[in-house]
């Protein structure tokens, strides 16, 4: 119920109220607390907003998102509400301003229901790194939901809200979308303001939505995109409509990276399912071309060299002095810094800070960070070259379906390799979407990923809409 905005508007047209719809979601979220996807429900502010939306609706002044109930990842700030990036280091912290995306959602009469659990500081691919415990996949509660935006994905997949926002640095929206059977999109870097997003790696991070259909995805992107004086990296143009204008007669040129399908480690059923989609698209008259991408093995190392370096810099502000957690055992300034950070950060965050500090250190900066930036440019150029002659690049979203909670945590490298197909888009800065088009014999879903040219979200969403209508369950 209420899986899409269209369903909500239909209910409102029959006399239902946004307040009742919000109460429905709040009650359902409370009953699903065992999934651990919400860290906090914003009951009071959500109901207050719902009453305002009802008044606007009666007055004929309702916004584009009137009645849409949305959850936000716990690294997106909301004035007067707590935010922690799922870390002890931000214990008790309450934001004094709202992220640009939050302001824009509220301006169009969306109701923000709560903040969702995530991997600490968005560092992880399973949502097991949260200081507040792992999130469970609602399809099979023994399995991870993916990360880092696992809580936001589960909130949508379990029907606890209509849509949600996550952030994607190396696959943190698309991978959990694949694992939970919903749609997740990482827009072009610079399409959506990062103002109010707690930074992990600033040249990679991008906010994006989770939804159950393409229409809601397009509308949400339209609302939250656009120029912002508070973010100099965002495209300084007004937002445009992304609502899909699908032409069923149009034939597309689509590349698929043959190296992705020939790799060791990819689940045979996911490989077969991806090939099946490729053949079906060919039979529908589209041109599918196999291309080589010789840098597949360099993408994950390049990503982790650069993102850990940026994390080392960004997370320096969490010091136990200015705000958040401060160790009660510290004596003096130096101990305050070392003990607060040692006790406040989790193991994975500390690992990445240390890796990044090493990468940036004297004597290693050129060998790692500078070289990583050069390799990033090579990857970006090769990706752009492919997209000069093709409309989209198609691949599996992930090499496997959701894995069991606790099964990969002992080996960080195995966890990092979950990003093998998703890191290309953020390295190149292009948009990418995961579509829930696959069903494994183990009962779990998997996604098909599409990547497009810079700022080509309109065509990407139009073709995604076509794909969902052709192959969606």
Confidence of residue 246 (pLDDT cuts 50, 70, 90): confident
Written as six digits, the tokens of 375 are 């390799």
- Kindly list the distances between the CA atom of residue 436 and the CA atoms of 157, 253, 273, 277, in Å, as whole numbers in the listed order: 11, 21, 12, 12
Give the Å distances, CA to CA, from 137 to 112, 123, 286: 22, 18, 35
* Residue 355 φ/ψ, nearest 5 degrees: -60, -45
How large a percentage of the chain has pLDDT more than 90? 86
Q: How sure is the predictor about 434, in pLDDT bands with cuts at 50, 70 and 90?
A: very high
3-state secondary structure of 165: strand
Average pLDDT over residues 395-410: 87
Helix axes 296-314, 371-389, angle to 10 degrees: 130
Residue 413: is its pLDDT beyond 70? no
pTM of the model: 0.96
> What is the rounded average pLDDT for all residues in the chain?
95
Instruction: Evaluate if residue 418 carries a pLDDT over 90.
Output: no
Percent of the chain whose predicted confidence (pLDDT) is above 70: 98
Looking at 66-80, 141-155, 264-278, 324-338, which range is the least confident one? 324-338
Residue count of the chain: 473
Written as one string, the DSSP assignment of 56-84 is HHHTT---TTTT-EEEEETTB--TTSB--
Locate 350 and state its tokens: 């500390």
Residues noted as catalytic: 73, 148, 172
Please state the rounded mean pLDDT for residues 11-39.
98
- Residue 409 pLDDT > 70: no
* Residue reference for tokens 């099946």: 276
Q: How confident is the model at residue 195 (pLDDT cuts 50, 70, 90)?
A: very high
Q: For the chain, which domains are there? A: 5-224 (3.90.1300.10)
User: Tell me: the pLDDT tens digits for 121-140?
Assistant: 999 999 999 999 999 999 99
Average pLDDT of the segment spanning 353-373: 94
Using 50, 70 and 90 to split pLDDT, how confident is the model at 321? Answer: confident
- The pLDDT of residue 410: 56
* Cα distance between residue 431 and residue 205, in whole Å: 12
pLDDT for the residue 244: 79
- Find the helix packing angle between 457-471 and 214-224, rounded to 10°: 160
């Amino acid at each position: 119920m209420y899986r899409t905005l269209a369903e909500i508007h239909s209910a409102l047209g029959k006399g239902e109220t946004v307040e009742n719809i919000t109460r429905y979601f709040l009650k359902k979220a409370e009953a699903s607390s065992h999934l651990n996807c919400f860290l906090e429900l914003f009951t009071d502010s959500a109901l207050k907003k719902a009453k305002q939306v009802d008044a606007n609706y009666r007055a004929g002044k309702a916004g584009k998102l009137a009645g849409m109930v949305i959850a936000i990842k716990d690294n997106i700030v909301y004035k007067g509400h707590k935010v922690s990036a799922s870390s002890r280091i931000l214990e008790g912290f309450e934001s004094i301003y709202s992220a640009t995306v939050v302001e824009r959602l509220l301006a169009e009469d969306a109701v923000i229901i709560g903040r969702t659990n995530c991997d600490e500081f968005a560092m992880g691919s399973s949502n097991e790194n949260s200081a507040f415990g792992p999130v469970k996949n609602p399809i099979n509660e023994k399995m991870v939901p993916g990360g880092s935006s696992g809580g936001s994905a589960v909130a949508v997949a379990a029907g606890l809200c209509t849509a949600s926002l996550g952030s994607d640095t190396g696959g943190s929206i698309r991978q959990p979308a694949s694992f939970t059977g919903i749609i997740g999109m990482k827009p072009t870097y610079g399409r959506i303001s990062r103002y109010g997003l707690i930074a992990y790696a600033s040249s990679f991070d991008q906010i994006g939505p989770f939804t159950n259909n393409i229409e809601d995805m397009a509308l949400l992107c339209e609302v939250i995109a656009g120029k912002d004086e508070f973010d100099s990296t965002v495209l300084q143009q007004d937002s445009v409509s992304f609502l899909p204008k699908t032409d069923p007669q149009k034939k597309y040129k689509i590349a698929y990276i043959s190296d992705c399908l020939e790799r060791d480690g990819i689940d045979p059923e996911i490989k077969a399912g991806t090939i099946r989609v490729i053949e079906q698209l060919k039979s529908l008259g589209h041109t599918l071309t196999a291309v080589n991408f010789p840098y597949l093995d360099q993408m994950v190392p390049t990503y982790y060299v650069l993102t850990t370096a940026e994390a080392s810099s960004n997370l320096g502000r969490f010091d136990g002095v200015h705000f958040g957690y401060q160790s009660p055992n510290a004596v003096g300034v130096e101990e305050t810094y070392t003990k607060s950070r040692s006790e406040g950060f989790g193991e994975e965050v500390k690992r990445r800070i240390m890796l990044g500090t090493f990468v940036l250190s004297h004597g290693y900066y050129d060998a790692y960070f500078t070289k990583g930036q050069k390799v990033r440019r090579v990857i970006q150029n090769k990706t752009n070259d492919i997209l000069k002659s093709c409309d989209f690049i198609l691949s599996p979203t992930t090499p496997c379906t959701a894995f069991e909670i606790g099964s990969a945590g002992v080996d960080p490298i195995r966890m990092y390799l979950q990003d093998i197909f998703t890191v290309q888009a953020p390295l190149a800065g292009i948009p990418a979407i995961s579509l829930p088009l696959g069903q494994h014999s183990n009962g779990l879903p998997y996604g098909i990923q599409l990547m497009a040219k810079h700022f080509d979200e309109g065509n990407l969403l139009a073709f995604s809409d076509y794909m969902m209508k052709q192959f969606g369950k």
